[in-house]
Amino acid sequence: MTTEAARELPAVNAILDTDECAALLSRFRREFVLRAVREAVADARSVLRGGGSVATSPNALATAAAHRLSNLGRGGPRRAINATGVVLHTGLGRAPLPPEWVEAGYCDLEVSLATGDRGDRQDHARDLLRWLTGAEDALVVNNNAAATLLAVDSLARGREVIVARGQLVEIGGSFRLPDVIAASGARLVEVGTTNKVRADDYRRAVTEETAALLQVHPSNFRLVGFTESVGTADLAAVAHEAGLPLLYDVGSGCLFDTTAIPGLEHEPPEPRVEQALTDGANLVCFSGDKLLGGPQAGVVLGKADLVMRLARNPLARALRIDKLCLAALSRCLAAHLLLPADAPPALRMLLRAEDEVRADADRLVTLLRERAPELDVSVEAGDAAPGSGSLPGTAARSWRVAVRVEKPEQAARDLRYEEPAVFGLARECAVILDMRTVRPGEVEELCSALVKLSRR
């Protein structure tokens, strides 16, 4: 760090004397305001040491301290506007959930309305899943890795599970399917090569120690070129010939035709849950917060006797879904019974017509030109992504608003500190805001955040 840059950093007392810090001291204990100021100064010093630039006035550092302390004082995740163009954005909580989906007070979680006696929390989702997929029974746990773990542990502990080598995926957080299987107490048997597997590979691998065949949809990557795989119906035939169950982790929990998404008309469709059952899978596992459009959850459904074995496993208690996620999941499933206009928000985003997205982009630009004419804004075509490993390598057609600024990285950072937080993309000399992932009611809020940005 240069001497000149070091001299730009004001004293802590000078920052504490600002109006913003005075407001902080009226809300927070002094020792925590002081700590936030010192950390803001340390962050600025680190940026300068690395050759970067940062605002170093007392007011700017007081604002940085306020952001830090306010985020802590808020006590958890806060609402955000997603203008990244990634519909199922893992960092932003994947599928957006309407507030009315979450039951915050008391609820009939585990009580029978008819008798007042203890009930089963699984009842809230079980019938909905049966109706939507045709499954005999269903069980809900806290995520899809847990669903797969519970299924393999219940059916194959101490025995072998056969999986195609090309399906040994790594999921988010560096968790790998072989590790999940090992944690279940089962032994993994790999068949085929990375790019090719045939039905006879599975047949030859079956022994007296084999407990199940496992099919895994590689949701977060695509294998193309010189490849060969075994379809679900053919794999189910191999499993049933050997008297074994077929478990299928379909990943995204898709209940609709993904070729209806603008731009994906000619892409291979995501496997649908009901089709996996029709093709002969005995148990199907999937996520609640991907293409299903709900909260984090893991669903297992299929043959009633197998689902019951999972429900009786002691792990089921450790992995069970909590009341808030169960409420949201049940309302998400109920929304799938309705017409497309009332589908879960994530699905509506994906299926929105291009002209509707363009209309929102035009509206935002019109508002900005009225309220902040100094901003250089324009509409441009772009591509949005399903996200969260769903439909990898694909892009939904979209429209974006480009806001040209001198320091796009700094502008994007400032927008993230707005209320609600705004997440866009910093590109060359502009902040890019993809309107496919901006909900219609958020256009005004997005405009207000950009107007504030223009006046700094």
The DSSP string of 101-138 is G---S---TTB-TTT-SB--TTHHHHHHHHHHH--SEE
Q: Check residue 289 and give its pLDDT.
A: 95
**Helix locations, 272-353, DSSP H:** 273-278, 304-311, 314-318, 323-335, 345-351
Q: Check residue 8 and give its pLDDT.
A: 72
What pTM was computed for the model? 0.85
Contact 103, 327 (CB under 8 A): yes
Mean pLDDT of 300-313: 98
Q: Check residue 174 and give its pLDDT.
A: 63
Q: Give the pair of three-digit tokens for residue 17.
A: 């004397």
**Summary mean pLDDT of the chain:** 92
Task: Kindly state the DSSP code that residue 294 receives in the 8-state scheme.
Answer: S
Task: Kindly state the DSSP code that residue 231 receives in the 8-state scheme.
Answer: -
Q: Check residue 1 and give its pLDDT.
A: 45
* Cis, bond preceding 420 (omega within 30 deg of 0): yes
Residue among 341, 244, 281 nearest 133 (CA): 281
pLDDT digits (tens, 9 = 90+) for 36-84: 999 999 998 888 888 888 888 899 999 999 988 887 877 678 899 999 9
Strand partners, 80: 421
Structural domains in the chain? 3-74 (no CATH), 80-94+348-454 (3.90.1150.180), 99-111+119-342 (3.40.640.10)
Q: Check residue 405 and give its pLDDT.
A: 93
Q: Check residue 224 and give its pLDDT.
A: 80
